[in-house]
Amino acid sequence: MFFSLQDYLAKLEPMVNVDCGSRTPEGVAAVADYVTALYQRIGYRVTRRQFSDACGPCLEITNAPDAAQYDVMLSGHMDTVFPVGTAAERPLRVEGDMAYGPGVSDMKAGVLALWYALKDLPQAADGSLKVVVCYNCDEEIGSPYSRDWLVDTAKKSACVLVAEAARANGQLVKARKGNAKYRIAFHGKASHAGNALAEGVSAITELANWTLAINQMVDLEAGTTLNVGLIKGGTGVNVVPDFAEAIVDLRFWDNDAAEGIDAHLRALADSPFVAGCRVEVERQTFKPAMRPSADTEALIALVEAVAAEQGLPIGWQEAGGGSDANFTAAAGVPSLDGFGPQGGGWHAASEFLMLGSVEPRIRLLQGVLARLAARG
């Protein structure tokens, strides 16, 4: 494979220099149009899938349009976390051996790296490796619209490789914590704090009791953590508050433990601390934990063998943040993550891409795909 970093950066620039937050459908659509043209150029069939007007399109791309099963599913996301105007404020720039810009490594670099890995792969060209590539539009908000499609496609694939960025230290990702976000609403009764305090029912007092109870559910040893991260409530200092709200973050390694937490929260809602309060528990997002199975361990060994042949030092990380690999792994499909070039600073103005890692990581992915084809 002949590789030109200048050519790669030229192709990366228009993908970074567009506002494509999850709730910016037109920006994600612009990225989708760009990616579609790249894949059509190398003979792949591209199918556009629109699951909601709230977000942009998803892309299902394959070299085997009539296949009932795929040898591998490659996955990435086209959306970022940044608001409109960010791309104009800080477009792609290169400084030494680093590139910077919104979404440069999370995950435009990985989206493009998949195309580079496939375009010169003989096993993909001759059909001995049946590939499906899924690019979704809503990963940064938990993939609420694309999740079912991703899981259904993964179930038709022997394994899943996700091109989120490799860590700055070179590690890939073999496990990820699960996560959930809860909105808990507290309804009380308003009254005058000076003249009729006893007639009121304080939603904030109920929220305070819940905060303490939630803190007691944390199990650091097991890796189950909860955080009451956002709260609001009340209308005035002299009014007993009739409404309050908390947004709670849950992270976990054990999916059964997460369901236990969910049941505990709902049981608390059935028996409020403050008489007269009513509590509503809404689980807004949920990603199951990604844990390696025996088949995943075999896939890890395959990746390590290819890396050793190429003289590329790699390692494996158990990450706290989630990705779409959480969903595919929970569906029973061997899944690994971190196949994009190395980077860091994600979701911040300091986000960076390590340019020296781009070609080696593309070659690693090519080698893994070739080995999968040989394995049959």
Please list, in sequence order, all residues whose beta carbon lies within 8 angstroms of the beta carbon of residue 297, skipping any fewer than 6 positions away.
none
- At 77-124, the pLDDT tens digits run 999 999 999 999 999 999 999 999 999 999 999 999 999 999 999 999
Residue 2 has pLDDT above 90, yes or no: no
Residue range 5-176+290-375, CATH number: 3.40.630.10
Active site positions, annotated = 79, 139
**pLDDT for 132-143, tens place per residue?**
999 999 999 999
* Structure confidence at residue 93 (pLDDT): 98
Query: How do residues 62-73 score in pLDDT, each as one tens digit?
Result: 999 999 999 999
Q: In the predicted model, what is the mean pLDDT of the chain? A: 97
Model-level pTM? 0.90
CA distances from 322 to 48, 227, 267, 279, 316 (A): 25, 16, 27, 28, 15
Strand (E) or helix (H) holding 110: helix 109-119
Whether residue 212 has pLDDT greater than 80: yes
Q: Which CATH class is domain 178-287?
A: alpha beta
pLDDT tens profile 239-248: 999 999 999 9
Residue 376 in this model has a pLDDT that exceeds 80: no
Decide: residue 122, CB within 10 A, 0-12 exposed, 13-18 middle, 19+ buried. exposed
Using the predicted structure, report yes or no on whether residue 321 has a pLDDT greater than 90. no
**Rounded-to-integer distance, Cα 370 and Cα 364, Å:** 10
CA atoms of 29 and 185, how far apart (whole Å): 35
What residues does each domain of the chain span?
Answer: 5-176+290-375, 178-287
**Which residues have CB under 8 Å from 358's CB, separation 6+?**
5, 8, 109, 113, 341
